[in-house]
Structure 1
Amino acid sequence: MMISLALRTLRHRVAAFAGAFFALLCAAALVCACLMLLETGLRGDVVPERYAGAPAVVAADQFVRQTVVKGDGDTKTKAKALGERAWLPESVVAGLRRDGLKVVTEVTFPFGGFTGHGWESAALTPFTIAKGRAPRADDEVAVDARAGLDVGAELRGYRVVGVTAQALPSQDTVFFSTARARSLAGHPGRVSAAGVFPGLDRAPEGAVLYTGDERGRLEFLDAEQARLKLISMGGSLAGTSLLVAILVVMGTFALSIQQRQRELALLRAIAATPKQVRGLVGGEALLVAAAAGTLGAAVGIGLGFWLRGQFVTLGAVPANLHLVVSPFPPLVALAATVGAAWVAARVSARRLTRIRPVEALGEAALGPARLPWWRLVAGLVALAGGVTLTLVLSGLHIEAAATPVTLLTALVWTTAFTLLGPVVARVVAALLAVPLRISRVGGFLAARNLRAGSGTLASVMSPLTLMVAMTCTILFVQTTMGYAAQEQADAGTRADYVVAGASGAAARAVPGVLSATEVLRTSVRVGLDKYAAQAVARPSGTLDLGVVAGSMDAFGDGTAAISRTAADRLGLRPGDPLKLTLGDGTPAALTVAAVYSRGLAFGDVTLPYALVTGHVDNPSATLLVRAPGVRAATLTAALPGASVLDRATAAEVSAANPQVTFVALGLIIAFTAIAVVNTLAMATSARSGELAALRLAGTTRRQVLRMLRLETLGAVLAASVLGSVVALVTLAAFGAGMTGSAVPHVPLWTFAGVIAAAAVLSLAATALPARLALRSAA
């Protein structure tokens, strides 16, 4: 019966429920899209291209593994992906050939915009020659059909002698002679992989067997890294989105119930039982949420494809890692929105159904006298949670761990202010009463309305506070990290130029060059923990890492320098042994020579260049050149083919960020902005009777609009202060843990833009429904 009555109510009050419907739709879409990213990270596969013609491929293990003993004595092996490609010893290949199998080996390496291979591996796809012949000499290459080159052309100093009939969908391929490819790859005695014909049942010792779509994971190691990023980012975003959605939906339903308080009180007065009223409200919520959640889940699938497309464009996800589409994300999004709506509606109507009918009518007319005890307790618990998370965040030194906690901290603080909203709103109304008197009529009315309608003010302030807090937190986490890293780079870089495409020996031979340091960027694992690393040769004169313990004079073969963050985490100091795994899986036992402070700019681990150069996918080093009296043009002329940038320009280039984080988290900002518009539009539309009464009482249209603008600006001002406080506390804790400074870097113009955007959105969301209401009143 209550569902039937709820259906009739919805039919005759479509406008009243439009705001709740739209909020639920956006919530379902956001949650569905984020869960699609998470599922793609968990189950996504890439179809092999390069290895499509090989039934089985053997390669080295691309993971570092560690066996841990659990409390009950059982063991468990954990695995983490390597940062570079692990190479397979040719002794494993020789063993397969002794077993009578046909084995096709290959090496792979970057060659400009191409991927280089030896012609010996053409059968893995297979590639065939359409024009010319296969390369045989060291100065010969064959290019794929998409290269646009013909036989006789030149490619980076090599002569094109063949063009293949095939081209891979996502790779530009160039083939060298077998000997030349092995030389360019720089891994003597090792190969990237080996195709086995007609197949293989189990992997040989010291290798891993890949078949089916597993070959794609081996071929595209960046796809495996992208999957891990999607798991981390999708999980974090889905959780954050769900919490934001719940907060927004509860605020929307609270406002909706508040606007219908008199109607529900009348139902109580004509003998409707509390159970029946709860059933009516819950039924309405279920019907609205079911319709909005279904449509929102469908929209979320499209949003998931859009997100994936943006990530592909930004280079964060390879094009051949396709989005996984299954019923799981839409169903979870639908269930989450329906559950959030039902709980929000029941909680919002809780007090109205627990008091006597006469009290309900009085409360509908005058508003509640005080904050319900359960809401006060919940708000205090949320405040305690915010304090706890802030303290936890200040002790986190790893970005992957700090980022989700940062967002959660801002959300919990915002939730606390939302739960305590009516109390905060009364304080705000009292504080705004004095400045609002500047306008005699509009300001007087605005001050009276804010004081009388503290519940509505609290409902309006909630999404505004959330928008300001989340936007500032998301934006200024990035600027805080970037500024701290740039400060460290500026303080630690002594070089005048950054050079790519030249050898250190050639640079040091240029007259006027005092020193040149080869630098390679990679990653290492200590245990299973990943650390950004750099390999340097001759750092004296070009790099100052900010040593705080030990000395770089002791840095050399068999040693390493580590950042203060890594040293604290690992419990190491100069002279201690350090066991780590290089990017390609090679173990190394070193001794800590120094501990330095500038890890944000130069990585957490600094290794000798000679140790790392044979264990990275791209051994081409960047050079830091100190040449105070040499002009850039002179250095460019002396190093033909090299790219020469001065230090300032190189810093700008290195600071460029694909902004993947902004694209993903920008959806949450957009959702909160939609919630702001939605809430204000609902609150203003519900006041059509009040506005009409003001017009009948002699208030001019201009005075009414000024009153609404002042009310809105007052709410924006209060929410901006609260949101900024939430963001400042969160960013201070983040900065204390990640950069060592509790002072965040907040560009003033960006902050002003956030506040201005909130004000413009709020005024626009108030003005349009207000003008429509005044027009109908006329």
Structure 2
Amino acid sequence: MIGFALRTLRHRKAGFAGSFVALLFAAMLVCACGMLLETGLRGGVAPERYAGTPVIVAGDQFVRQTIQKSGGKSKTKAKPLAGHAWLPASLATSLGEVAGVTKVISEVTFPVYVGNGRASGHGWESAGLTPFTLRAGRAPAAADEVVVDARSGLSVGARLDAVTAAGARTYRVTGVTAQSLPSQDTLFFSTAEARRLAGRPGQVSAIGIFSRGEVSAVPANASAVLKTARAFAHTGDDRGAIEFPDAEQARVRLISLGGALGGTSLLVAVLVVVGTFALSIQQREREIALLRAVAATPRQVRRMLGGEALLVAAVAGSAGSVAGIGLGFWLRDRFVALGAMPEHLRLVVSPFPTLAALLATMLAAWAAARLSARRAARIRPVEALGEAALPGTRPSWGRMIAGLVCVGGGVALTIVLSALSVEAASSPVTLLTALVWTTAVALLGPVIARAAIALLGVPLRLSGVGGHLAAANLRTGSRRVASVITPLSLLVAMTGTILFVQTTMGHAAEREAAAGGRADYVLGPHLPGAAAQALRETPGVLAVTEVLRTSVRVGLEKYGAQAVTPEGLDRTVDLGVVAGSLRDLGQDGVAVSETAAARLGVAVGGRIHLALGDGTPVAPTVVAIYARGLGYGDLTLAHALVAPHVDDALGTLLVSAPTLPRAAIIAAVPGAAVLDQAQAADAAAPNAEVNYVAMGLIIAFTAIAVVNTLAMSTSDRARELALLRLVGTTRRQVLRMLRLETLMAVVVAVALGTGISLVTLSAFSSGMTGSAVPYVPPFTYLAVVAVAAILALAATAIPARLVLRQRPADAIGARQ
């Protein structure tokens, strides 16, 4: 039967075009997601600054936790820190005494804001770790001197205004390097000034080691010294991970994103491919009936259809896997542009994602064909032709039971989703819930279609010849209508869920931030403590709150946190305290949101053991529990506690000055931008554009499936449309009939998709925001509906016009 399948494909190219397109794009999605996942697992970063240093010693950049397992075994898990772990400066002396070490160079790294950009600041002594050499001028010696890199555009003698955590200062350029780094601007200060600006007395960010002999021997020789300081020696590309700590965090995000996106893509692909093959087999029921009538066994029919699916999938999967590599690079570029992935994190390209995509595509196609062929292959030969002539039979009991099981699964997932209050846990469950509900709709599609046709058929029959024909066609073609409704409802459900999850979270955070905002002015975005002090000394200013946004680890769990100055906090922020008091928030205190308190199982007076951004362990006492966690983070800590332990200690300022005009505030802090509450909330919110780009691919794939299915359905009706033309129906009436059929399918699909989306969103909103009412912008929702309707109408009208260009007699003859 495989040979017969090959001949069938050769003579029915148009009939398999829809399946080919669906499988092609499915392979592209799976391959691209596999590349992201593999990059997260195996991706590396080549060093830039440390390229000339054989060994770099750095602190432990992970929070580690040992978990005891059954049988006395234990397993250590690790999660990356939010910032960079520093080392004691004295470690350099100890490393210099290790056998084989010839030279040791320490360095400090800190952010410097120059104009509208950000540079990396260092002491000149660490230039020995880098490829930098002076092209002009000399090294900095005084506190007000600086060396700039080659792409700064400055020359010796120029003035440079720089802002660091230590404040704003003007420096004189004494030297220009001959080199520059691809992904970072570099400034070199004198050693003493760099230590002051870094704000880490007695600490260094890294230590470079030069040795004689084999580089690999250095870590072994220095193991005792490194273990005492909880430090690690890095060689090769591992040096890049120390130079670019954001790359490690991006890898973790890529693992999560690639896995979730790949899994969702595969589920959507299976659902779409099953629908496409089901429609293709429906269109061939007369052919299959003839095969059964001439003694083809059910097994032979299934083998033929499975062979066809494998052949189509092999070609489509191969082409899609190759195209998926290009899609993976496009995704990587978009994530880099959005700041979700550092430019220096290389995309891993290997055969594994392409092979996995090809294998997944072939398995999905084979399973889809076998499932879709079950009913057609089981028809008894005597009934085969009659069954093909009367396609409006009821769905099988197996399909009905599977549909009801999916309904039960959707109910269970909806209940689970409504109890999840962590976005990392709720996001994959949200998409899975929408998919399970859509699968239920697909399985129960014929029943839903018949009910919808019975309801909407009455007004259709009253709308002229086109409406009467549409109602009659819909009544006899409920299975075809069901195959069209499935991808349309999937499009509306997935688009609505993906879009409105973000708007629901964003609106809730903005609402809480606005409700808690008492400050008259918000200044930012990168201001030092000196600016806050200048404002406090300004007459008319009642309170100034410094705010830093960061994250901490409690165990291995990551929590969003803000650091604030406690003095005058009640004048600038209202966190909605429900227990305790923020007046007790000092360097040893922490305020916790209600959601985080429930997760951690703490109350006022309890202690939380957490790791700050650089891994420093602290155990503050819970002094308050507040309600507005979405707007202000899960944890609120003292600014004095957090600022020394983050990479960038420059933040925003909340100012209470009801009697002062904006001009007076700007005059007190020249160069600062005055933000309103909405801008401040947007700056603090997570980047939803990354999710839009990632999940937008699934939406695009679903949209292609909609066009594909409708085009297949319309093209297959050439004989039917030709007969209508022969009995006197005008071209205009035929087109009107098709438009009304499509609009009815759109109405049903929009209703189903909207219902699925609303049920899912309500459960998500209930768990994440405490309200079962999601935020759905009406114009955005109408745009989703409009896009679905336009796609459906275009996918129907264009094939129909091509079919109607043929003479009726030729069209009927071609279909014989």
The TM-score range, normalised by the shorter chain, is over 0.9
CA contact (8 A) 1:88 1:193 kept: yes
2:646 to 616, 634, 640: 616
How far off its partner does 1:508 sit?
Answer: 1.4
Note the C-alpha offset of 1:186: 0.7
**Alignment partner for residue 152 of structure 1, among 157, 168, 192?**
157
Cα distance in structure 2, aligned partners of 1:721 and 1:420: 15
Matches within 5 A, 1:517-596: 517-537=545-565, 538=567, 539-596=569-626
Does the 8 Å CA contact 2:549/2:684 hold for their aligned counterparts? no
1:322-333 maps to which residues of 2 (within 5 A)? Answer: 322-333=346-357
Question: For residues 587 and 798 of structure 2, what CA distance do their matches in structure 1 show?
Answer: 71
Aligned residue among 739, 742, 745 for 1:709: 739
User: Which residue in 1 is equivalent to 2:165?
Assistant: none
Give the match's secondary structure for 1:116: strand
Contact 2:321 2:358 in 1 (8 A): yes
Q: Please give the alpha-carbon distance, in whole angstroms, between the structure 2 residues aligned to 1:72 and 1:505.
A: 58
- State the alpha-carbon separation in 1 of the partners of residues 712 and 135 from structure 2: 68
Whether the 8 Å CA contact 1:89–1:189 is kept in 2: the answer is yes
- Secondary structure of 2:572's match? coil
The answer for the alignment partner of 1:134 in structure 2 is: 139
Distance 1:636 1:493 in 2: 20
Q: Show CA shifts across 1:165-204 (max 9, x none).
A: 1111111100000110011011111100000112422341
The one of 152, 169, 174 aligned to 2:187: 174
What is the distance in 2 between the residues matched to 1:160 and 1:676? 62
SS in 2 for 1:736: helix
Matched, 1:432 2:432: no
Change (3 A) 1:419 1:545: same
Contact 1:250 1:345 in 2 (8 A): yes
Map residues 267-346 of structure 1 onto 2, 5 A cutoff: 267-346=291-370
Amino acid at match of 1:224: E
Corresponding residue number in structure 1 for 2:372: 348
Confirm or deny: 8 A CA contact 2:510 2:678 kept in the other structure: no
For residue 475 of structure 1, give the secondary structure of its aligned residue in structure 2.
helix
Number of the residue aligned with 2:111 = 110
Structure 1 666/415 Cα, relative in aligned 2: closer, same or farther at 3 Å?
A: same
Separation in 2, partners of 1:506, 1:232: 44
Deviation at 1:94, TM superposition (A): 2.0
Structure 2 counterpart of 1:109, which letter?
F
Give, as a single letter, the amino acid of the residue that structure 1 aligns with 2:159.
Answer: E
Q: What is the alpha-carbon distance in structure 2 between the residues aligned to residue 382 and residue 724 of structure 1?
A: 18
Residues 715, 368 of structure 1: CA spacing in aligned structure 2 closer, same or farther, 3 A cutoff? closer
Q: Could you tell me whether the CA contact under 8 Å between 1:496 and 1:647 is conserved in 2?
A: no
The TM-score, its normalising length taken from structure 1, stands at: 0.98
Q: Determine what percentage of the aligned residue pairs are the same residue.
A: 66
2:417 alignment counterpart: 393
SS of residue matched to 1:253? helix
Map of 1:767 onto structure 2: 797
The aligned residue for residue 41 of structure 1 is 40
Kindly state the Cα deviation for residue 576 of structure 1 after the two structures are TM-superposed: 0.9
1:441 pairs with 426, 451, 465, which one?
465
User: How many angstroms does 1:609 deviate by?
Assistant: 1.1
CA distance in 1, matches of 2:520, 2:471: 61
1:548 deviates by: 1.0
Kindly indicate whether the alpha-carbon contact (under 8 Å) linking 1:143 and 1:164 is maintained by their aligned counterparts in 2: yes
Q: How far apart are 1:644 and its partner, in Å?
A: 2.4
The aligned counterpart of 2:811 is none
Q: Indicate the residue corresponding to 2:16 in structure 1.
A: 17
CA deviations over 1:87-142 (Å, ceiling 9, x no partner): 01112222112336311111001101210000010011132111000101100000
What is residue 723 of structure 1 aligned with on the other side?
753
Q: How many residue pairs end up in the alignment?
A: 777
**1:123 matched to which residue of 2?**
128
Structure 2 residue runs of 5 or longer lacking an equivalent are: 162-169, 809-816
Q: 2: distance between equivalents of 1:146 and 1:621?
A: 27
2: distance between equivalents of 1:523 and 1:710?
54
Q: TM-score under structure 2 normalisation?
A: 0.94
2:406/2:439 contact within 8 Å kept: yes
Equivalent AA in structure 2 for residue 218 of structure 1: I
Whole-angstrom CA distance in 2 between matches of 1:279 and 1:562: 61
**3-state DSSP of counterpart to 1:151:** coil
What CA distance in whole angstroms lies between the structure 2 residues aligned with 1:349 and 1:654? 53
User: Matches of 1:455 and 1:268 in 2, distance apart?
Assistant: 21
Matched, 1:3 2:2: yes
Q: Give 3-state SS (helix, strand or coil) of 1:499's partner.
A: strand
**Aligned mates of 1:648, 1:15 — CA distance in 2:** 53
Change (3 A) 1:586 1:187: same
Q: Is the 8 A contact 1:92 1:207 kept in 2?
A: no
Distance in structure 2 (CA, Å) of the matches to 1:517 and 1:511:
16
Alignment of 1:45-60 (within 5 A): 45-60=44-59
The offset of 1:734, in angstroms, is 0.5
Query: Counterparts of 2:417 and 2:786 in 1: how far apart (Å)?
Result: 29
1:510 to 508, 532, 538: 538
Amino acid paired to 1:356: R
CA contact (8 A) 1:558 1:591 kept: yes
Structure 2 contact 502–688 (Cα < 8 Å) conserved:
no
Is 2:199 the partner of 1:186? yes
State how far apart, in whole Å, the 1-side matches of 2:201 and 2:726 are. 91
